[in-house]
A and B are shown apart, each in its own frame.
Chain A
Amino acid sequence: EAQVTQNPRYLITVTGKKLTVTCSQNMNHEYMSWYRQDPGLGLRQIYYSMNVEVTDKGDVPEGYKVSRKEKRNFPLILESPSPNQTSLYFCASSLSGTTNEKLFFGSGTQLSVL
């Protein structure tokens, strides 16, 4: 089954403790992206990747890192999480990244930073 898999679904952590949210897709998509969803705001893009070893900042990249060492995986790293990073995070992918292609989303990670 074609899918984007995110883990974990729920995560509670404390300020400053490094964490990684994993994202994997099995559709051989070139484009992958991370978004955060906060109440009253639309999905905001954190980082995106057009292919292996090619990443770029989205609208809200501060406090986040990403890597794309393999085509299928695109982990999101919070080196020193802070409470303002409490949010619902989505990973998404598409075939080549042009915006006339639909995005496939993971099931989301609800992160709480205490």
Chain B
Amino acid sequence: ILNVEQSPQSLHVQEGDSTNFTCSFPSSNFYALHWYRWETAKSPEALFVMTLNGDEKKKGRISATLNTKEGYSYLYIKGSQPEDSATYLCARSGSARQLTFGSGTQLTVLP
């Protein structure tokens, strides 16, 4: 994998469903993995920054895991709510100074 890839590009889920999406990235020279939540017409906001293989982070109903050896991170949302509707961006760093962003997963939670 040469770039940061996110899948799926978009998905629709029903309120109350749990969901997850993937961020794949080059595993060599890994430094950090970021997740951001971006609501339409607002600023992207940081959810998590992870650096160690096996890291797991949790914030309310949202959690993330990191596998640096195989180059992927999962973001999980438990019991999705309409207010979770947003684009979720991941970004990977191969050095201390440079972040490369994926194109995002657009989540729509239907009431």
Contact = CB atoms under 8 A, between A and B. Distances in A.
Interface of B: 4, 31-32, 34, 36, 41-46, 49, 51, 89, 91, 93, 95-104
Contact of B101 (A40, A44, A98): A44
Nearest to B3: A42
Contacts of B46: 102-104
Contacts of B97: 48, 50, 97-99
Interface in A73-113: 90, 97-108
A31 to B, nearest CB: 9
A45 B95 CA distance: 15
A4 interface: yes
Interface of A: 4, 35, 40-45, 48, 50, 90, 97-108
B98 A102 contact: no
B89 A43 contact: yes
6 contacts: A90-B43, A99-B97, A100-B51, A101-B49, A103-B46, A107-B41
B31 A42 contact: no
A103 B42 contact: no
A106 B93 CA distance: 21
Contact of A42 (B32, B45, B93, B102): B102
A108 B42 CA distance: 8
Nearest to B87: A37
Nearest to A31: B97
B98 A43 contact: no
Contacts of A101: 49
Contacts of A45: 98-99
A1 to B, nearest CB: 13
A59 to B, nearest CB: 8
